[in-house]
Homo-oligomer: A and B are copies of this chain.
Amino acid sequence: MNLQRKFGLVIKELRLKKGLSQESLANQSDIDRTYISDIEKGERNISLKIIERLSETLQISLSELFKKIEEYE
Secondary structure of the A contact surface, majority rule? helix
State whether the Cβ of A52 lies closer than 8 Å to any Cβ in chain B: yes
Q: Determine the chain B residues whose CB is within 8 A of the CB of A67 once the complex forms.
A: 63
Inter-chain CA distance A69–B55, complex, in Å, is: 14
Q: List 22 A-B pairs, Cβ < 8 Å.
A: A3-B48, A3-B49, A3-B52, A4-B48, A4-B49, A7-B48, A45-B47, A45-B48, A45-B49, A46-B47, A47-B48, A48-B51, A61-B66, A62-B66, A62-B69, A62-B70, A63-B63, A63-B66, A63-B67, A63-B69, A65-B66, A66-B66
Task: Identify the A interface with B (CB < 8 A).
Answer: 3-4, 7, 45-49, 51-52, 61-67, 69-70
